[in-house]
């Protein structure tokens, strides 16, 4: 985690995957349906990272206090906002649905009224302006 200052913004950058002990570069991780819930699984090793990611996400977001907005990483199994593939099983080739990543889900729960966008959304002028207006408002 590190703080970056840019004009009127202080960005606090964090990579949840690194924070739970995954290296850079790292083996791919996937969201997989597990019973009635979801699991975050490292593809090659089949290690279930769910019990690390959820507590980290909750603890980190509880630590933050007030936040003006979030900018998340699109398509990431941890940070993707809407378009993360969810597989029925680890060996499935195609996802059966898409949704938010593990960290993003906790962000949405903890900060339901806070402006949240991903980097792809900032490429769209209308979405970018809406996010900036909400963050600066």
Q: What is the mean pLDDT of residues 113-120?
A: 94
pLDDT at site 1: 53
Which segments within the chain are labelled E, that is strand? 2-6, 9-13, 29-34, 37-42, 70-72, 84-87, 97-99, 116-118
CA-CA distance, 54 to 38, in Å (whole number)?
11
pTM of the model: 0.89
Closest CA to 40 of 8, 7, 84: 84
**DSSP code string of 93-128:** SS-SEEE--HHHHHHHHH-TTS-EEETTGGGSHHHH
Q: What is the pLDDT of residues 1-58, one digit of tens each?
A: 554 445 667 778 899 999 999 989 999 999 999 988 999 999 888 899 999 999 999 9
pLDDT at site 41: 95
pLDDT at site 52: 97
Q: What is the pLDDT of residues 63-73, one digit of tens each?
A: 988 899 999 99
CA-CA distance, 97 to 87, in Å (whole number)?
7
Q: What is the mean pLDDT of residues 104-114?
A: 96
């Amino acid at each position: 985690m590190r703080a970056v200052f840019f004009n009127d913004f202080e960005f606090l950058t964090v990579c949840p995957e690194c924070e739970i002990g995954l290296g850079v570069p790292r083996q791919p991780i996937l969201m997989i349906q597990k019973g009635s819930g979801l699991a975050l699984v490292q593809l090659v090793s089949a290690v279930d990272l769910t019990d690390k990611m959820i507590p980290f996400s909750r603890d980190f977001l509880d630590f933050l206090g007030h936040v003006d907005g979030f900018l998340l990483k699109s398509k990431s199994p941890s940070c993707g906002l809407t378009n993360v593939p969810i597989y029925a099983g680890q060996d499935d080739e195609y996802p059966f649905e898409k949704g938010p990543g593990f960290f993003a889900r906790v962000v949405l729960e903890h900060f339901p009224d806070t402006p949240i966008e991903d980097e792809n959304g900032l490429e769209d002028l209308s979405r970018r302006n809406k996010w900036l207006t909400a963050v600066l408002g």
